[in-house]
Amino acid sequence: MEAKIKAFMDEVKARNGHEPEFIQAVQEVAETVIPYIAQHEIYNGKNILLRMVEPERLISFRVAWVDDDGEIHVNRGYRIQMNSAIGPYKGGLRFHPTVNASVLKFLAFEQVFKNSLTTLPMGGGKGGSDFDPKGKSDDEVMRFCHAFMTELCRHIGPNTDVPAGDIGVGAREIGFLFGAYKKIRNEFTGVLTGKGLSWGGSLIRPEATGYGTVYFADSMLKTRDESFEGKNVVISGSGNVAQYAAEKVLHLGGKVLTLSDSGGYIYDKEGIDEEKLAWVMDLKNNKRGRISEYVDQYPNAEYHKGKAPWEVPCDIALPCATQNELNGDHAKTLLKNGCMCVSEGANMPSTPEAIHAFHEARILFAPGKASNAGGVATSGLEMSQNSLRISWTRSEVDDRLKGIMNDIHNSCIEYGKEDNGYCNYVKGANIAGFVKVADAMLAQGVI
Ligand SMILES: NC(=O)C1=CN([C@@H]2O[C@H](COP(=O)(O)OP(=O)(O)OC[C@H]3O[C@@H](n4cnc5c(N)ncnc54)[C@H](O)[C@@H]3O)[C@@H](O)[C@H]2O)C=CC1
Ligand SMILES: O=C(O)CCC(=O)C(=O)O
């Protein structure tokens, strides 16, 4: 089996050798899915995984825009349309200086499996730009978004490809992008998700990724007769996912000790309660400040510049910032300090070494493609509401989200439970996600 996996990866590396994040994401899937394919005659000899690692379409384009001083800037825009076997391409847009084809291909590849796990009819895609919204005025962000959509609008549509937010793309950016699409195409449609409530958005979409990550962790904890009640929880990030993960942890009786951004982390041993979290939301979503400012407001807290929060002893860790933010050494520290559960809110935040350490220690570990699927699932619910031209209530959407996260957990158990009783959620998510897409691809023929 190892030879088969190596031969497959050699082929992937030959074509994508300069794309480390993409190769990392494919390797993890290959290690779990190739043995499964070998045991299931219908998939054998069809090169399905090889087809799945090649994007159906990779679009790259120039985005030229003018700043407040009249200077012209050029960024690169992308949309990776990875797989449409089970529905229109669906996945977020990331605006961050680190964006490149490798990062977006890894995200688009993960998205295919994640969207399949939600049980909703959504293919996988991802896009974005190396534009950095940090430090830009609202007007500059608007001009960039309008320029970006001028090209992107040719490639998307409610039945073709439906983008949404990701790092650096929140409610403000989705508004500007939607405005440009509507103007150019003269269509008011559900072409983006994460929209404002008065123009087609869904209740609970802002909360969904963070809430879903915590719902998934709660399902894992229940398998060991545990819960969030009274647990110390360490969270990285302070953006959309981290904020609502923290909120749900508080609802379930846990204590949130940390939040972070790319500058460092804050540790509040008294706990970040609802009032402090509201202050962080205002800091990040309105003032667009740095997390270091927390200690000016709450002097009993500590700020650790340039560091990640995994050194703070905890029962549960929720990485909610970015890829590869939790490495093998961080994992060992978490385990030494007694961490029993890691649920990924971000995409691929744990390195392969970290995942290996969690599996060796047999703690509860959920990969992002399962545990953070609540965001895209609720985007799927937004698409349904747009098509039906109705709006569901907060509790209707939240109940559906809970149901979907519970179903994803059950799928992971079905495909990931090992003979010794331990559930390998990575294996479970990869195989469960693969089966639905592979079956659709088989039915649709070689195309
Ligand atoms: N927004 C969504 O619905 C979904 C987001 N995700 C993933 O969750 C993660 C966070 O996304 P959002 O919260 O939406 O973005 P966001 O832009 O609202 O927040 C990103 C957070 O990550 C921090 N960050 C960025 N780079 C960092 C670095 N190098 N080191 C430490 N912190 C860093 C930022 O300071 C910020 O706190 C990403 O991995 C994203 O792909 C996954 C599923 C859905
Ligand atoms: O809601 C969506 O379509 C995008 C979510 C996303 O980008 C993700 O799941 O990583």
Q: What is the pTM of this model?
A: 0.97
Cβ of 239 less than 6 Å from ligand 1: yes
- Asked if residue 307 belongs to a domain, the reply is yes
pLDDT at 131 over 90: yes
For residue 309, what are the domain limits? 207-366
How wide is the angle at C-alpha 359 spanned by C-alphas 247 and 324, nearest 5°? 60
Q: Average pLDDT of 345-357?
A: 98
Neighbouring C-alpha atoms within 13 Å toward the C-beta of 67: 12
Q: Is the same domain home to 160 and 283?
A: no
Cβ of 376 less than 6 Å from ligand 2: yes
Q: Is the same domain home to 101 and 166?
A: yes
Q: Of ligand 1's atoms, which has the minimum distance to the CA of residue 323?
A: 39
Using the mean position of ligand 1's atoms as its centre, give its distance from the Cα of residue 345 in Å. 9
Q: Is the same domain home to 265 and 347?
A: yes
Q: Average pLDDT of 127-135?
A: 96
Please state, for a pLDDT cut of 70, what percent of the chain lies above it.
Answer: 100
Per-residue pLDDT band at 400 (split at 50, 70, 90): very high
Output the pLDDT for position 40: 96
Q: Is the same domain home to 254 and 106?
A: no
Q: Is the same domain home to 175 and 307?
A: no
90 belongs to an annotated ligand binding site: yes
What pLDDT digit, counting tens, does each position of 99-118 carry? 999 999 999 999 999 999 99
User: For ligand 1, atom 30, which residue shows the shortest CA distance?
Assistant: 262
Per-residue pLDDT band at 81 (split at 50, 70, 90): very high
Q: Active-site positions? A: 126
Cβ of 323 less than 6 Å from ligand 2: no
Matching residue, tokens 């001083």 = 69
Q: Give the integer Cα–Cα distance in Å for 177 and 78.
A: 14
What pLDDT digit, counting tens, does each position of 429-439 carry? 999 999 999 99
Residues 97, 132 contacting (CB under 8 angstroms): yes
Per-residue pLDDT band at 17 (split at 50, 70, 90): confident
What pLDDT digit, counting tens, does each position of 175-211 carry? 999 999 999 999 999 999 999 999 999 999 999 999 9
What pLDDT digit, counting tens, does each position of 90-101 carry? 999 999 999 999
Output the pLDDT for position 228: 98
- Asked if residue 17 belongs to a domain, the reply is no
DSSP state of 417: B
pLDDT at 123 over 90: yes
Per-residue pLDDT band at 49 (split at 50, 70, 90): very high
Mean of all residue pLDDT scores within the chain: 98
Which of 321, 337, 366 finishes a domain?
366
Please state, for a pLDDT cut of 90, what percent of the chain lies above it.
Answer: 99
What pLDDT digit, counting tens, does each position of 271-312 carry? 999 999 999 999 999 999 999 999 999 999 999 999 999 999
User: Total structural domains in the chain?
Assistant: 2
Output the pLDDT for position 116: 98
- Asked if residue 113 belongs to a domain, the reply is yes
Q: Give the integer Cα–Cα distance in Å for 236 and 311.
A: 12
Q: Is the same domain home to 327 and 236?
A: yes
Q: Average pLDDT of 395-420?
A: 98
Give the CATH number of the domain where residue 272 resides: 3.40.50.720
Q: Is the same domain home to 80 and 169?
A: yes
- Asked if residue 11 belongs to a domain, the reply is no
Q: Is the same domain home to 153 and 236?
A: no
Rounded to 10 deg, the angle between the 101-117 and 425-444 helix axes is 90
Q: Of ligand 2's atoms, which has the minimum distance to the CA of residue 126?
A: 7
Q: Is the same domain home to 167 and 217?
A: no
Alpha helices by DSSP H, listed for 326-424, are 328-336, 352-360, 368-371, 374-388, 394-416
Using the mean position of ligand 2's atoms as its centre, give its distance from the Cα of residue 375 in Å. 6
Q: Is the same domain home to 120 and 212?
A: no
What ipTM was reported for this prediction?
0.98
